[in-house]
Structure formats: C-alpha cells, structure tokens
Chains A and B, each alone.
Chain A
Amino acid sequence: MTKTQSKNLRDEALLALIRKLVETPGPSGQEGLIRAAVLEEIKAHVDEVRTDALGNLIARVGTKQAGGLRVMISAHIDEIGLMVTHVDANGFARFIAIGGVSPLTCIGGRVLFMNGARGVIGCERLEPNSAPTLEKLFIDTGALSREDCPVSVGDVCGFERPFLDLGAHLVAKSMDDRVSAAVAIQALRALKKTPHEVYFVFSVQEEVGLRGATTAAYGVNPDVGLAVDVTRTGDTPRTVKMEVALDKGPAIKVRDSSFIADPRVVNWMVAAAKAAKLPYQLEVLEAGGTDGRAIQLAHAGVPAGCLSIPCRYIHSPSEMVSYADVENAVKLLVQLLSEEIKLD
C-alpha cells in the first residue's frame, strides 16, 4: 500500500476487529476479557472450542482428511502490563513489570487497572544523565492516602492508549500480539475448505515466558505448528540493523534468539507465499522469542515456524504495523491452511 492509497480500499471489518482487540485490556494472567472478546468473534465459525487449565482458548476448525495434518496456529492474547507491589502512605503505588516493560516508555503513561481504576506514571527525581529504572517509578491514581487508594498489592494494569489509524499504518499499545490474533481470527473465518484439523490457539502468558503455548501445545499435540506474532524492523532512523521493514509483506521467521524455525516449514511458507503471489520477507531476529519455540519443544518435538507481522516500537504504547502487511498475512495464513502440507 502506498502513502496515497485511499482509506476506503481497506476492509473496515478487519480494522474494527483490530481496534476491538487492541483496546481490550489483558496483561499476562488477566486474559479473561480478551479471551471473551476473541470467543465472541470466532464461535460461529469453529467446530469446537475450549479453554484449558491455564486459560488458553483453543478452537478447532475442520477434521483431518486424507493427506491432512493436525496443525496448531498460536497467537498470544496477553499483553505486557504492570502489577502493584506496594502502596505507600501517601497513596502512590509502586509496581513491577509483567513482561518486558521499558521504564523509558512508562513515564507519563496512563494505565487502566483490571478493577477499572486509572492512573498515571510518575518518576522520582533522577541523578543528572541517569536513566530511570522501574524502581524509580510509581503510579499516581489520584489517591490522597494508602487507605484512599483504589488499588492494592497484586492489582494489575495495562497501558491505556487509544487505537490510531494513520491510513497505511496502524498504531496501538498492544499490536503485540493482538494484531496477530486478528490475523488468526480473519483466517479462521475465511478458511472455507481445509484438509487439516486446525487448532487455533489464542494463548496466554506469552510475555512472561511462552507459558500458555507450552501447555496448549502439549494438549493439542500437533503434527506441525506456527506462531503468529509481531517482529521488529530495521526501517527507522539509526536503529539496530535488521532486514525486515514495514509494508514489504508478512515475514517468515528463519531464526530468533530462542528458536530456529524448521527449514521445511520455512520452505512450505515461502512456497505458499509464491503460489498466492503475496509479498513476503525472510526474518532473522537477533533477540526475542515466540510461541514457536514452545510448540517445537512439545512432546517428542514438532516441526514449527512463525508467521511474523513487522512492527515498529514493540513494547511501547505505540506499536506500529502496516495495514497491507496485516491483510497479506491473513491471505498467507489462509493459503497455508487450505492446501496439503508437504514438509521437505
């Protein structure tokens, strides 16, 4: 999509879905609301759906035909957030990160607690030229005292920032990984015919260590699996070098720091992109990991890969993706699941 491309060429349903998912709060361990939101979107389109012991939403589409496989697609529905560790005498709440939260993106941020309370993040006085740490920060809920504070130890909040539609690019606090959940949901709905038994897993607790996908992959026991997740890009000023850029198509992961994609899965994905005439990029990510690792290590081992959505400013309140990449990721996922899978 080019800068001049009109907004009215876009799928409004997909945009509405992304907006709904990114604006639903759900830090790791608190995925009840987002799970309900996803279920509402998929329940009319699935053959079976259940929630496992850790809270993963697992939906099956199709039954295994001749030449079909049991395929697991995993998009995580949790997001990074904060948990209160102490409320001081003046009502300021100290906190710890849930997942990878940078203190730099916290300051001045606004948070929404799962109990409905709101607050802003302030910082202690810093030594000159020193970077803040999370220990220096606190949440101000507007409370006057500890007794008055609407939150206490253990309360959880997410960052609060509305969805922003910039036309070619979309911005939100939790594109990681709600945009992938949207891709999975769209693919699930669009998948008219498949020889496979496809398990769409909307996994929990990815941001704290791929925990949901670990148990989901054990429960599903797939023949092949894909994570759908965001990946970083190298297309912003003076950033870390990386081949992936926005608007060049979904990325097919070759490797990240916790996972080497099965080369047969990479080949299958590349062939599918070519067959459907879709743009794609090959991704080598220096630091990071996805549910792909958890799937790969389940049971006696599973061929696994990852379909990545290029994303700028990951784990900031303003994560940016390309609308065209998202749409092409949906098409690629549908293509991948519609045909027999040859791993060679």
Chain B
Amino acid sequence: MSPMKEITQSSRKRIGKRQTELLAELCNALSVSGDEQEVREIVLREVKPFCQQVEVDAMGNVLATRIGSGQDKVQVMIAAHMDEVGFMLTQDDGDGIFGFSIVGGIDERQLVGKPVIVGREHVPGVIGAKAIHLTTPEERKTALKLEQLRIDLGPDGSGLAKVGDRAGFATRFSEIGPSIRAKALDNRLGVFNLIELLRSAPENIDLLAAFTVQEEVGLRGARVAAYHFNPQIGIAVDSTPANDLPLYDEDGENTRYNTRLDRGPAIYLMDGATIADRRLAEWLMKTAEDEGIPYQIRQPNPGGTDAGAIHKTRAGVPSISVSVPQRYCHTAAGLIRKSDWEDTLRLLSAALSRLNSKILTPLEA
C-alpha cells in the first residue's frame, strides 16, 4: 500500500471514544440465548433514530430496516446475533447455592473459579471449587465436571435468583493498549458493527438488519428473520476464534489457527454450516484490495454462523460471513485487536457502498 494513498472514506478512523463506550456497554450486558432483553434494549435505543422500520419479532429478533434511495437497489440482510454463551440455573440447593447447565458451547474446564453474574439484576456470584490446600495431587489431575460445580450467590442469593435464570461471566470490558479484553465479544462486536452500518448505510442498498437471538444454540433466530426479510443477499457479521499462539508443546508450524490477530477481518469460504457464495467472497476481497484494507481467509473449519440459516431460507439466499478474529472465544475473557475490529467495519462499509445487483449475475448455467 502506497504511503501517498488518498484518505478515502473507508480509511477514516472509525473507532473512537463513543464507539468504544458503546461496545463496552454491549459487552457488559448479560444476554444469554433465550433471554436477550438487555442487549435488545440497547439495540432498539441505538437504531430507532435512523431506521424507517424497527420491530421485534415473535422470537425476539430486532428487525430494523433502512431503505436506500438509489436505483437498482439490492436488498441485503445483515445478521448479528445478540445472544452469548452462558449458563442457566437448574437446581436450587438452598442458601444461594445453585446447580446450573451450560447454554451454548463452553468448555466446562473453563468454569472453575470464575466470577459470574446472575439474572437481569446481575446478582454477583462465583463458580466455586475446593481450595488447593485441601485437594490431593491425584484430584488435581482431572478437571471438575459440570455436575460437581455450583454457582454460589451467598446466603441472600436464594431470594435474588431462581431456577431458569440465566447467568454469565462477570468480566468487565477493558482496553489493554491495542487490544480489548471482554466477555461476549462474540458477538457484541457484530452487534456494534451492524449498528454502525445502519447509521451510515449507503443509498444503493436496502439494509435489512437482523439482530438475532439464539444463534449459540443453533442459528434459530436467523432462520425466522431471513424468512421474514426474504433478502437477495445474506451476510452474517460475527467473531471467530484466533488460535494463533505459537505451539508450546511441539515443534513445527502452527497449521490450525483458524484466524490470526492483526491480520484484519476474516472472510469465510466454508464452515460447518455454509459454503460461502464465491461471488460475494470475490466482492469482499476485491473491495479490501482496492481500499487497502487487510483481510484474511478464515481457515475452512467446522463451526457456523447465522449465514448457515440464512442461505437455506425459502428458495435460497447467496450468503457469506465476515468475522473479527478473537482469541479465547467462548471463555470468560476474549481478546481482540482494535485494528481488526476497525478494519472489519471499514471493509463492510466500503463493500456495501459499492454493491449493485450485477454481483448477482445469474450463475453460469
């Protein structure tokens, strides 16, 4: 990239104090699959001023439409899921002690010793375990199973929580130099990015924004949202694991990183739920190259995004996903680079503004 390159719209700085504060508010909210109310309220507050139509559907998806004014507009659905992985209280042992189950995918070895918050009031608690003083070397060889763990809210907790309440990690959003550490970056980054795209949507598209529910338990919200919107193109904006640390335990090259930090937005070609439409992949990569925005191809791997539900809707929707790479996804604290976040937003914004229906030129029969 030439240092003399003109400042185009896409290369302007997009992440400042306002943006970071909103992302912090989104990450600190608790929004476990099936109870997305807290994030939904933030989304509604943010998007109402600049959308012609905003509704909450039967499942709780926020469906926000910003109509463009150009000729030959393309109907683009962009989905960002509002839910996060977490817990549900399943058993009341009395004295503020609760058994719980996992909602979505969390490695149960990650749970011991983590501070948590419970319910809409964010009642503080902890997933406790026997102190090391009292354990044997033999005990310490195996990870504790979910059935052996409890959420402890203290003796007053019994009145503050009940079976069926959701819980999540208590981690508070923080900036660490060029990075951000927070819970639920998967997928508050997507939610934030979609809010920003709505705010500055170009006139050549009708932006059909779906802030979806229940993605982490099987892309459920996106399925009905896509049915409702019946779009020409579908895009899921999400966050995907970066397993890019050096291999500590063996020699050789790390060949299974999924994505890497500092290399820009991750464009999908295939995951467990979707084979991306190659026309859309070309469009995103060409945009990135023309605008001098770094990007990476997410390693084709299992996993899935809302695109998996969107592309199979009705008679089919060409679809793709774009994610911000994140270390330690689905744990108490993920880590991202602000530059990757910003470049993801720049790429999506630039790509949308150059979108026209020619991209959907019928597939060569």
Binding site for B on A (CB under 8 A): 28-29, 32, 35-36, 39, 49-57, 83-86, 88-89, 94, 96, 98, 135, 152-154, 205, 208, 211-212, 214-216, 218-219
The distance in angstroms between the C-alpha atoms of A96 and B271, with both chains bound, is: 10
Determine whether B8 belongs to the interface, using a CB cutoff of 8 Å to chain A: no
Of B34-42, B196-204, B211-219, B307-315, the one with at least 4 CB within 8 A of chain A = B307-315
Chain B residues with CB under 8 Å of A84's CB are: 300
Among A56, A83, A86, A219, contact of B269 (Cβ-Cβ < 8 Å): A83
Contacts of B314 in A (CB 8 A): 215, 218-219
In the bound assembly, the distance between CA atoms of A50 and B155 in angstroms comes to 67
Instruction: Say if the beta carbon of B190 comes within 8 Å of chain A.
Output: no
Stretch in contact with the other chain, from B84-92, B106-114, B329-337, B357-365: B357-365
- Verify B316–A52 contact, CB threshold 8 A: yes
Q: Is B301 an interface residue, CB under 8 A from the partner?
A: yes
A218 vs B223: C-alpha distance when bound (angstroms)? 15
Cβ contact of B312, chosen from A55, A85, A154, A214, cutoff 8 A: A214
A56–B318 alpha-carbon span in the complex (Å): 12
Cα distance, A211 to B315, chains bound together (Å): 11
A-B contact pairs, 22 of them (CB 8 A): A29-B276, A35-B365, A52-B316, A53-B315, A53-B316, A54-B311, A85-B255, A85-B299, A85-B301, A86-B255, A86-B256, A88-B255, A94-B256, A96-B270, A152-B297, A153-B269, A153-B297, A153-B299, A154-B281, A154-B300, A211-B275, A215-B315
> B253 contacts the other chain (Cβ, under 8 Å)?
yes
> How far, in Å, is A166 (CB) from chain B's closest CB?
34
Residues of B within 8 Å of A214, CB to CB, are: 312
Q: Which residues of A contact B257 (CB under 8 A)?
A: 86
Asked if B317 CB lies within 8 Å of chain A CBs, one says yes
Whether B312 lies near A53 (C-beta < 8 A) is no
- Residues of chain B within 8 A (CB-CB) of A205 are 275
Q: Which B residues touch A89, using CB under 8 A? A: 253
Interface pair B300/A219, CB less than 8 Å apart: no
Option from A35, A49, A88, A135 in Cβ contact (under 8 Å) with B363: A35
Distance between Cα atoms of A96 and B314 in the complex (Å) = 29
Check A154 against B269 for contact (C-beta < 8 Å): yes
Q: A35, A49, A83 — which one has the most chain B CB atoms within 10 A of its CB? A: A83
Q: Interface readout for B246-281 with A: 1 if CB under 8 Å, 0 if not?
A: 000000010111000000000001100001101001
Is A96's CB under 8 angstroms from B365's CB?
Answer: no
User: Distance in Å from the Cβ of A20 to the closest Cβ of chain B?
Assistant: 17
Partner of A218, one of B269, B299, B315: B315
Q: Kindly name the residue among A53, A57, A83, A153 whose own CB sees the greatest number of chain B CB atoms within 10 A.
A: A53
Q: Shortest Cβ distance from B357 into chain A, in angstroms? A: 13
Give the docked Cα–Cα distance between A51 and B299 (Å): 29
Contact of B301 among A35, A54, A96, A218 (CB under 8 A): A96
Complex alpha-carbon distance, A208 and B312, angstroms: 12
Q: Which chain B positions have C-beta within 8 A of A36?
A: 364-365
B365/A49 in contact, CB under 8 A: yes
A83-B270, A96-B301, A205-B275 known; A32-B316 Cβ under 8 A = no
Interface pair A53/B317, CB less than 8 Å apart: yes
Residue in B256, B299, B300 with the greatest tally of chain A CB atoms within 10 Å: B300
Q: Taking the nearest CB of chain B, how far is it from the CB of A99, in angstroms?
A: 11
Within the complex, which residue of A29, A135, A215 is in contact with B275, where a contact is CB–CB below 8 Å?
Answer: A29
Q: A50-B365, A86-B299, A94-B256 are in contact. List 16 more A-B contacts (CB 8 A).
A: A29-B275, A36-B365, A53-B316, A53-B317, A84-B300, A85-B301, A88-B255, A96-B299, A96-B301, A135-B256, A153-B269, A211-B311, A212-B316, A215-B316, A216-B316, A219-B316
B318 and A98 within 8 A (CB): no
Inter-chain contact A52/B315, CB cutoff 8 Å: yes
CA A154 to CA B282, docked complex, whole Å: 12
Taking the nearest CB of chain A, how far is it from the CB of B221, in angstroms? 19
- Whether A88 lies near B362 (C-beta < 8 A) is no
Contact B365 A51 (CB under 8 A): yes
- B365/A208 in contact, CB under 8 A: no
CB distance A29 to B270 under 8 Å? yes
**In the A-B complex, the 10 residue pairs with the closest CB atoms:** A215-B316, A29-B275, A219-B315, A53-B316, A54-B316, A154-B269, A86-B255, A85-B299, A83-B300, A153-B297
Q: Which residue of B lies closest to A56 (CB)?
A: B316
Chain B: CB-nearest residue to A95? B300
Contact of A154 among B297, B313, B316, B363 (CB under 8 A): B297
Chain B CB count within 10 A is highest, among A32, A96, A135, A208, for: A96
Tell me the bound Cα distance from A25 to B119 in angstroms. 54
B-side contacts of A54, CB under 8 Å:
311, 316, 318
- Give complex CA distance A214, B253 in Å: 40
Residues of A with C-beta under 8 A to B301: 85, 96
Q: Are B365 and A39 in contact (CB under 8 A)?
A: yes
Q: Are B316 and A98 in contact, with the CB atoms below 8 A? A: no
B362, chain A: closest CB distance, angstroms:
6
**Which single member of B275, B313, B318, B365 contacts A57 (CB below 8 Å)?**
B365
B256, A85: Cβ atoms closer than 8 Å: yes
Quote the shortest CB–CB distance from B299 to chain A (angstroms).
Answer: 4
